[in-house]
Structure 1
Amino acid sequence: MLADMQSVMPSWFWPEPNYRYRPSGPNRRASGSLMELTIDVPCSCPSCGKCILRMQSSRRKMKFLGLMMMLNFFIYFLVEISRSYSQGKSDAAHPNIPHKHFWRKSKLSEAFWNRKQQHLDQIENPQMLYHSDSSNSSNTSHLELAQISHKWNYNSTGTAGHCEPDLEMATQIKDYNSLPQRFKDFLLYMRCRSYPMLTDAPGVCSEPTFLLFAVKSLAHHFDRRQAIRQSWGRAGVLGNHRVAAVFLLGNTAPIDHFPNISALVHHEAMLHGDLLQWDYRDTFFNLTLKEVLFLEWLGDRCPSARYVFKGDDDVFVNTHHILRYLDGLSGTKARDLFVGDVITKAGPHRDKKLKYYIPESVFVGQYPPYAGGGGYLYSGDVGLRLRNMSHHVLLYPIDDVYTGMCLQRLGLVPEKHKGFRTFDIEEKYRENACAYQSLMLVHPRNPQDVIKIWSWINDPKLNC
């Protein structure tokens, strides 16, 4: 019986058996001289034989249940595969549309510029406008957005040539009355983007232009413009490439206590044919306006310019090195070119004493990467794209940051180039002619320095 039980029951089914010697008595059995060793196995049955039969029956039931479970799992697996296959075929004809809207309107900012730009962005993204929740009282209708767009980005000064101040600003910005006057002036005329042109230069791009210099200047900076004409901005053929230059001017206003020099500016324009002047007040915060007006001129008068250098009138530029650099470009690099002294991870200044001061009530957030306004270089193709994008970005009081905002929306990142030194070079190298050979731009330099450095780098005896 012991052998039979061991063959039927696994060793782990029962608890450990109780090994003991059977006590002596009449039922004692001997096997030779050894006491017989017996094993007591727990059993609730009167007869151990019946218990073994029941255990065999239980084992067969367990096997049967296991097979049934495996069969059910196999059938479930086949059903799921069939369902996935049929759903895949039907998805092509009947796409699965989510119940929730994919486009969601972001919460309107409390800062004035951010809030107005968000409204304009809704116009550019019809999906956001279409899926807007009409139950939200903060949403703006399509008609209202169109009116905002017309007011803020497509305003014309009209036949009278004047743009009226927007007096609603005093109620739209909570701390308007405490802002510096220069900032109030910017906000009052922020919606104005088109002004009459006083002086044009239609002959500048009458021939195919490889490199166009666009120099920001003030009307009374006669000496700076003349120094540039006699040095790095000289129009003509240089290094087998045609180079041209224009100077970008606004108008002097009596409120800024400038003397009337309009006759002198007119004479200069007639003499050189390289002045672009618009009838708006030329201030620091209006440099962004000068930027968008030039981009419009570029698209209308000089769309074939291959490259554009835009900078201030107090910089020295190594035109030779720029032309060598441009000659080495091709393909996407040439088409998407935008290089300069790039500033990253910057934000608005909150100190009212600084001319770059931006109040939190007007703008919040970090600036995108942008090139310092002392000077940067970009392709004509990028210039035309900037022109189009500027129609969809509100004017911002800092022009180089504004250009960075437009680039960001174009999906372009300005490239930092070590040849642009908008914060000057070490003092010990400033009188070393060879120090300027590998540079593209150095800022600042006065007119005398510009002419002197230009003569240095063009000296045939220079050996660096």
Structure 2
Amino acid sequence: MAQFHCRWRNVLICVCSPCICLALLFIYATIMVCIRMGSTASSWAAEKNHFVASGTFTNNSFAPLPKTFWEFHLHGDAFWNNLQQVTDRHFNPILHPNDHKRGLGKSTSDESPLRQSFSAVINLDSTKRNFEKLPQQIQEFVSHMQKRDYPTITQPDGVCGAGAKDEKEPPLLLLAIKTTELNFKNRQAIRQTWGQVGWVAGQKTNSSRGEEGGGYVRRVFLLGKENTEELGVDLSDLVQLESKRYGDIIQWDFKDTFYNLTLKDVLFWSWFSRSCGRTRFVFKGDDDVFVNTPKMITYLQEQLKKPKAYKTMKDFMVGDVIGAAMPNRVNKSKYFVPDSFYKGFYPTYAGGGGVVYSGQLTKRLHNMSKKVHLFPIDDVYVGMCMIRLKVHPVHHPAFLTFDFPGKEEQELCSYHRILLVHKRSPHQVVKLWDHMNKTQTQCWDVPLKTVGESKNKPKTL
């Protein structure tokens, strides 16, 4: 009987031991996988880095979105798409789950993958064959699109632009205005009107006490260099004198062209991140816009008072939002981008005529720009950086980058109902500011335009 029990015990041990070992091995493997996934997911979430692979589709909330991570040639010979695909794969946390150095860091070494991908794509035989077919202005853009280390010729006297020397609180708003050496009249009109610095009073509606609240405003103009040979005159000395007089100019040593407006964004973000640590908001716009600064001040103060504003401010951007736009294929347009350079929809973006975003978002855009190749349309490029941050601009109908609809401009208080309108000459800006001051009492309680009133036609580039 003892031999019988011993025999069965040996049988059970022989049969069950492998099963127990397999079960223990499965439990161990499951625990290790969970730990690895948790580590990868937590580091990815902490970095707020959003991978966007090439190949896009659209739905009601995103444009564009990743279609696949793995296919290499969805866009054929589209130069920019191929460049960005190489870079996106480099920073893809799925392909490189253990390489935490690829995350969204602040080191300038993050720019090396951009240069590496550029070298890899530009040397492909297919790229060399198609490069000469690109329009001349695109070829010129490509020839220097990997360069971002342009020296600063002059910069503002103040730490973060021109402003009051006796500020009693952090600046609420920095006005960052894209301009050129030639546009002195535009800058003067802005300085005398909506771009005044120091303490600026807000304007609340439905109030019998007049102006309430306000904030400190700073100002900086963003310039490149004119081509002296094409212009026939060197304006450098005049710009230097202007800079000494007003202390509100930052100028970099690159050719000031339409396609280089993106450089102004990238270099401005870098300068802001170093010099404007306490500034709450940035208005970035062209030098031919008119801004209702008092209403802008009040609007921004209202945003800061909203619940959990301390959390939402890191994503805050507001303007005239354009969604699901296609590249302009008309070769005579200044917005022309051939399909040999870029294919696909543009991401959602705010029109570059005038947009407002938080200081926190400005710094995040600076970091993300190290992972996105320059694009010849500046506001589209901002959208490309935004989509990778998983952030979307908020549309506000008071940003009229395509002017007033119909005959609305003729109404007495029309300019009191907006935050911005595009395409105004220096003479018009001065007249409009005077008109705003004269009609202030009559139009005090007029609210800003609301979404339901927006009658603008569909916007395209």
- Which residue of structure 1 aligns with residue 71 of structure 2? 106
Where 2:438 maps in the other structure, the secondary structure is coil
Aligned match of 1:274: 248
**Other-structure match for 1:120:** 87
Larger of the two Rg values belongs to structure: 1
Match of 1:149?
A: 114
Q: Aligned equivalents of 1:86 and 1:171: distance in 2?
A: 54
Give 1:187's aligned residue: 142
Q: 1:379 aligns with which of 348, 358, 371?
A: 358
Identity of aligned residues (%): 41
Given candidates 321, 345, 370, the residue that maps to 2:349 is 370
- 113-122 or 333-342, larger mean C-alpha shift: 333-342
Contact 2:262 2:378 in 1 (8 A): yes
What pairs up with 1:16-165 in 2 under 5 angstroms? 92-93=30-31, 95=33, 105-108=70-73, 109=75, 110-128=77-95, 148-151=113-116
CA distance in 2, matches of 1:445, 1:426: 15
1:218 aligned onto 2:180: yes
**Aligned partner of 2:278 among 304, 326, 351:** 304
Q: 2:171 aligns with which of 197, 200, 209?
A: 209
Shift of 1:462: 3.6
Q: TM-score if structure 1 supplies the norm length? A: 0.70
SS of structure 2 residue aligned to 1:364: coil
> 2:257 & 2:371 partners in 1: Cα distance?
23
Correspondence 1:265 to 2:234: no
SS in 1 for 2:193: coil
| Match of residue 224 from structure 2 | 250
Matching residue of 2:19? none
Query: Which range moved further: 386-395 or 89-98?
Result: 89-98
- Show CA shifts across 1:101-151 (max 9, x none): xx95332343111111111112212542589xxxxxxxxxxxxx9965345
- 8 Å CA contact 1:246–1:275 kept in 2: the answer is yes
The two structures, once aligned, show a CA RMSD in angstroms of 3.2
Question: Partners in 2 of 1:353 and 1:190 — Cα distance?
Answer: 22
Residue of structure 1 equivalent to 2:197: 235
Q: CA deviation at 1:214?
A: 0.3
The one-letter code of the counterpart of 2:82 is R
- Evaluate the alpha carbon distance shift between residue 104 and residue 231 of structure 1 in structure 2; reply closer, same or farther with a 3 A threshold: closer
Name the aligned partner's letter for residue 78 of structure 2: A
Counterparts of 1:311 and 1:328 in 2: how far apart (Å)? 21
Give the deviation of 1:176 after TM superposition: 2.6
User: What residue in structure 1 maps to residue 415 of structure 2?
Assistant: 436
* Letter of the 1:323 counterpart: I
Q: Paired residue for 2:155, among 184, 200, 205?
A: 200
Residues 167, 107 of structure 1: CA spacing in aligned structure 2 closer, same or farther, 3 A cutoff? closer
Taking a change above 3 Å as real, the CA distance of residues 460 and 121 of structure 1, as seen in their structure-2 partners, is same
- Given candidates 359, 366, 369, the residue that maps to 2:338 is 359
Structure 2 counterpart of 1:66:
none
Q: Which runs of 5+ in 1 are unaligned?
A: 1-84, 132-144, 155-165
Could you tell me which residue of structure 1 aligns to residue 130 of structure 2? 175
Q: 262-271 or 114-123: which moved more?
A: 114-123
Map 1:439-458 → 2, pairs under 5 A:
439-458=418-437
Q: How does 1:400-411 map to 2 (within 5 A)?
A: 400-411=379-390
* Structure 1 pair 222–433 and aligned structure 2 pair: CA distance change class (3 A): farther
Change (3 A) 1:93 1:336: closer
Partner of 1:39: none
What secondary structure sits across from 1:178 in the alignment? coil
Q: Deviations over 1:254-303 (max 9, x none)?
A: 35335211111111000000001000000000000111010111011112
CA contact (8 A) 1:252 1:258 kept: no
Q: Which runs of 5+ in 2 are unaligned?
A: 1-22, 38-67, 99-109, 202-213, 444-461
What corresponds to 1:286 in structure 2?
260
CA distance in 2, matches of 1:226, 1:121: 43
Partner secondary structure for residue 345 of structure 1: coil
